[in-house]
Structure 1
């Protein structure tokens, strides 16, 4: 399934390696420090809805929740005889909320006072995660403490996958990429935007809208205003050698291949890879399977949307999209 962007150390990393010493605890150190409270993330400000010690809402501990709501689910790749393991929408909702809680407190120069544990995570009736028994502090805030929070989140998420009955060796590559980002040694404050808006956490029903938006940013906007950026993004997209073979081998997707007008037939270029994905999503009703097409596209090219997003982030273009509003 292709590129996982060098997930170092595997998914069973020792907990001790994830809890590195915080380093200097000076506010003047690190790139996370100088942040305005009234930031661009104001709509997700910190509050009592994130740290919940007593609530009228019925909460379940995360271990119990994931035992009854599988985080990893096996789905058929329609149009083939294969199956694919992906995250459930319940899992992505919970994971993104946990990432948002961390990012929101980091934005006001606070980090967890102690390493995050699975027992700190609770889940409400709507599937939104909250923390209990966890405390944030501004004491000793530093870039390394921020990174430590995300490393510990990665560890907890892997524990919950196992508790839910999932096999970490079957994690989809886009989620492996997300976990890799959480443990990145050089994570910066700008990367936190990518963490909480990572494409691996998109609900399946929203992936079409997210893809079309990123496609427009790359091909239409940058194609007119900055072709150098567009070309750098295109050159880094995955599946360059085999995407057309994959498309023709899938009985459902192949319908868009064989029925294309001769003047616009698909060639083995990354631009045509994007064009095919756009055309399939833009004409879902033509072949009567709009309910399963998005899942097919994800299972066949699970890293495509992730790399589009990461390259836009690298080129300084992602925050000018509306990606943060595609997770509802």
Structure 2
């Protein structure tokens, strides 16, 4: 029989600058909660979780897209939920059951309220992720899966597959779709250097497999067309036919590193503006880099949680 545990105090779980909290809130404690503490259902009802049908900076009107992407508040909410769960699992514990009534939100950060804990087992890890998946779908996305961005769907699929829920726990915990805009450049650069500089020397076979698995190898240059900002960043020209994942990674690296080179010319765009365009145009690049590095055993050493 598995040993039972229960949390009896506020436990702060560091996740970059965020904090997921496991707590035991008796009736007296509940009365002392700040007025800013609400249930996850209340919070998502009054807080915008996703930008829908947005036009990106630089897009020509003739080719304007209809883009959906998470708000920064939604990212913070989701990553603090996943951080709290991750640290429980790292401590060899699992909540016996997680419902939306167990999750409160204070200052935009998720708090798990008085969950009963048991010893960690693979079946319980999968159950926990499936329960959180269900809560996210109901409260954040209102069961409307067709509007969910591709990279967020990637995260949700990892959480509900037995193999990936167990083997990709660190990817779920640090998933790129939840990284703040201001940290995406550094997040990408750590993985880029590992893939293009370290692995060719240390693990050439793994390096080759990762490159073969990454997206956008054959069509990345087509995605630049119609957006003057991207065309400038990637130095795209008409009839450009550059192909190959190495060319794309190097071009993306140059784009994200030199995004502010023309700021002095008065275009007024910030680094976050550029990162938003790169993120929405190539949503699956960073998540797939994470996934493939984890398969090769080269992700955790990058300590991406420090900037996620």
Task: For CA contacts below 8 A with separation 6 or more, give which structure has more relative contact order.
Answer: 1
1:212 equivalent to 2:189? Answer yes
The answer for the alignment partner of 1:51 in structure 2 is 23
Shift of 1:52: 5.0
The CA distance in 2 between the partners of 1:64 and 1:43, in whole Å, is 25
Q: Which structure 2 residue ranges, 5 or more long, are not aligned?
A: 4-12, 264-268
The CA distance in 1 between the partners of 2:144 and 2:55, in whole Å, is 17
Shift of 1:130: 0.4
The answer for the alignment partner of 1:221 in structure 2 is 198
The CA distance in 2 between the partners of 1:220 and 1:100, in whole Å, is 30
The counterpart of 1:161, out of the listed 131, 140, 144, is: 140
The answer for the alignment partner of 2:123 in structure 1 is 144
1:134/1:43 Cα in 2 relative to 1: closer, same or farther (>3 Å)? closer
The CA distance in 2 between the partners of 1:132 and 1:122, in whole Å, is 7
The counterpart of 1:104, out of the listed 52, 72, 87, is: 87
1:48/1:173 Cα in 2 relative to 1: closer, same or farther (>3 Å)? closer
1:311 equivalent to 2:289? Answer no
- Contact 2:233–2:258 (8 Å) recurs in 1: no
The CA distance in 2 between the partners of 1:52 and 1:85, in whole Å, is 37
The answer for the alignment partner of 2:7 in structure 1 is none
The counterpart of 1:299, out of the listed 256, 267, 280, is: 280
The counterpart of 1:284, out of the listed 259, 274, 282, is: 259
The CA distance in 2 between the partners of 1:219 and 1:266, in whole Å, is 22
1:179/1:291 Cα in 2 relative to 1: closer, same or farther (>3 Å)? closer
The CA distance in 2 between the partners of 1:99 and 1:189, in whole Å, is 14
1:79 equivalent to 2:58? Answer yes
Q: TM-score, normalised by structure 1?
A: 0.77
The answer for the alignment partner of 2:6 in structure 1 is none
1:152/1:207 Cα in 2 relative to 1: closer, same or farther (>3 Å)? same
After superposition, the CA RMSD in angstroms is 2.6
The answer for the alignment partner of 2:40 in structure 1 is 62
- Contact 2:141–2:148 (8 Å) recurs in 1: no
Which has the larger strand fraction? 2
The answer for the alignment partner of 2:174 in structure 1 is 197
Shift of 1:157: 0.4
The counterpart of 2:224, out of the listed 237, 243, 247, is: 247
Q: Which structure 1 residue ranges, 5 or more long, are not aligned?
A: 1-24, 28-41
Shift of 1:277: 1.0
The CA distance in 2 between the partners of 1:313 and 1:48, in whole Å, is 24
The answer for the alignment partner of 1:38 in structure 2 is none
